[in-house]
Amino acid sequence: MAKLVPQRCPPAALPRPYSRGFWRFVPTATAIAVLAGLLAFSFIAWVYASPVIVILTAGALVYFGALALAGYQSRSQALHNAWVLARRHLEHGEHGQVHRLLYQLSEQTWTSPHGDARVLFLRGELAMREGEFDVAEELFDAALRSGWFVADGPLADMLPSAHLSLATFEVIAREPREAIVHRRAITKLPIDEREREALLLVIDVLIAARCGDFDELLTSLERGRDDAELALAEAPAQRAVLALLEDYARAHVRGDAFREHAGEAPRWRAEELRYLGTRWPELAAFLEASQQPTLALAAPRELGEPSR
């Protein structure tokens, strides 16, 4: 099942999402054209046929129009619910379930005008989590070009997680400081303050780790850990990222501090976070070393010097 969606809908074959500007014009123009057509038909039918036919025809049009609108709203809500569920699976590392939901969504030929943008972005997140950064970049760009990801748009509920995913992508695949753009965007979103601080902490820690500012990383974690753990209660993947980067920083600051509580279950699983090291060689080496106890306690220089 995990291979069905990529084979069925490769990124190059995906339809381009309806642009927001285009969709603002189309409904108005369509409504005017339909109304003009109905008025013309009614006039002709009234003059050349029975008024009863006009009334029956108008009633039928209203009935089927209401059915069409109800179906549209139902599919739009189903798409939103599927996205919420897919995000939950993604946060728990259940990629197979996300593939299944995406496959089901690909079977829906009629969705809301912004539906393709939502699905494209979700596929980009999934591709990033699976280490396919070239595919993720193409999907992210296609979704963002649609213009639906704005504060006053129908996808406003996606913006916090979207900016976090884009910041993560920038840190790993491009220039770490480019993630600051998404950090600033999060500061302007109308969301709960505790949630905002938790998202900002994840981005700050990612940037600090990528730039080798380990003292700043540990200081930020010490200052914001409790609030972040509460705000990220439903986001185990993000909590695991914070735990991983804390261990990563301590391994560089103090070579014997990688695992302070020997024998305890680790706070993160390397196989679920391996995507972070796809274009981050030092972290990839650390993740590899974490699977071998004798190497996990190695001196910082054996784990590689941080990229700057």
| pLDDT beneath 70: ranges in the chain | 1-35, 45-49, 52, 54, 68-73, 107-115, 255-266, 292-308
Shared domain check, 132 and 34: yes
Supply the pLDDT for residue 293: 55
Closest by CA to 274, choosing from 77, 139, 93, is 93
Supply the pLDDT for residue 251: 83
Calculate helix-pair angle for 133-145, 115-129, nearest 10 degrees.
160
CB 82, CB 122: distance < 8 Å:
no
Shared domain check, 221 and 136: no
- Rg (C-alpha) for the chain, rounded Å, is 25
In a domain, 173, yes or no: no
Shared domain check, 121 and 10: yes
Supply the pLDDT for residue 204: 94
In a domain, 156, yes or no: no
Q: How far is CA 149 from the centre of its chain?
A: 11
Residues 214-233 have pLDDT tens digits of 998 999 888 877 777 777 77
Full-prediction pTM beyond 0.85? no
Shared domain check, 2 and 134: yes
In a domain, 303, yes or no: yes
Supply the pLDDT for residue 210: 93
Shared domain check, 68 and 206: no
Domain endpoint, select from 97, 118, 144: 144
Distance (Å) of CA 42 to CA 34, 207, 249, 300: 12, 65, 75, 82
Q: Which residues contact 301 (CB under 8 A, 6 or more apart)?
A: none
Supply the pLDDT for residue 7: 36
Supply the pLDDT for residue 114: 57
Domain endpoint, select from 96, 128, 144: 144
Q: Which residues contact 100 (CB under 8 A, 6 or more apart)?
A: 1
Shared domain check, 230 and 110: no
Shared domain check, 296 and 210: yes
Supply the pLDDT for residue 286: 87
Query: What residue numbers bound the domain in which 241 lies?
Result: 201-308
Residues 90-108 have pLDDT tens digits of 888 888 888 888 887 776 6
Closest by CA to 129, choosing from 280, 275, 271, is 275
In a domain, 166, yes or no: no
Domain endpoint, select from 128, 144, 160: 144
| Total domain count, the chain | 2
In a domain, 118, yes or no: yes
Q: Which helix (H) or strand (E) holds 93?
A: none
